[in-house]
Structure 1
Amino acid sequence: MKTTIAIVDDHELMAKALSGLVQKYEDYEVIYEANNGKELLNRIKLKMVPDVVLLDISMPEMDGFETALWLKNNYPEVKVLALSMNDKEESIVGMLRNGARGYLLKGCKPFELKQALDAIVQKGFYYTEFVTGQLIKSLNPETLQNP
């Protein structure tokens, strides 16, 4: 059985491009695209619960932080992969705190998206070296400033 994916991004072109890319992966199926967190919640309430949500952070009505937290509290079995152009430490840490199982930058290569999806499904999480570095920096800010 294929892993079901919902794509949540307010940029329609990005959502469609992601959807087309994911559909090419043998083990995955995009069941729908949503423009924001509120639209995703409405679909989930209609029993359209995906296995994985590819979630943008910056969106109108209900952003990625609120959406990830709602999923964590209401549907913890849904795995969230944050996908953003934002590489700021506080955004990465905030999304992971709110339940995201991984964080990818939108500038990543297509094979990295596949790697991330596979890792989240198989291991439950996906952290790039960049994300790991940001996490360590946020946990030990003084250590890295004074080596």
Structure 2
Amino acid sequence: MERHTFNEEQVDAGIAAIIERAKDRGQTIRYSAVFAAAGLPEPQQLHQGSESQLVTDFMKAIHDRCIERGLPPLDSLVVHVAGPRENWPGGGYFKVNGLADPMKERVSAEDQVKATRFWEDQKQQCKDWADRERRMR
């Protein structure tokens, strides 16, 4: 079975795809579109092929690269389009940010609220950034 890897150019390509959506009022983008832009298989295929860690690592690389490039937390705009996490980021998003996954069982109401507010704040940062970017054009 082929194992997949990614490089910095693919991370930047994923970020570019997110930026395209973000500049349109901070809209979210589906994981599969980000991975396709980077030339990677869809996350579902990676999970099915026992490469779940690659999905996590790629999204962490996007998170870190946004910080390096002085960009807003664009990883907050990457969401699932179906299933129980529809319109929500994956659990790794919350883990990367040191928060409990609010969609997991046995998470306290306090931790659910904290994580959800954090995510909403990060999405707002992206929307504000997109507004500034549009005004500068």
- Fold equivalence (TM over 0.5): no
TM-score (norm 1): 0.29
Q: Taking CA–CA contacts closer than 8 Å with sequence separation of 6 or more, which of the two structures ends up with the larger relative contact order?
A: 2
Higher helix share: 2
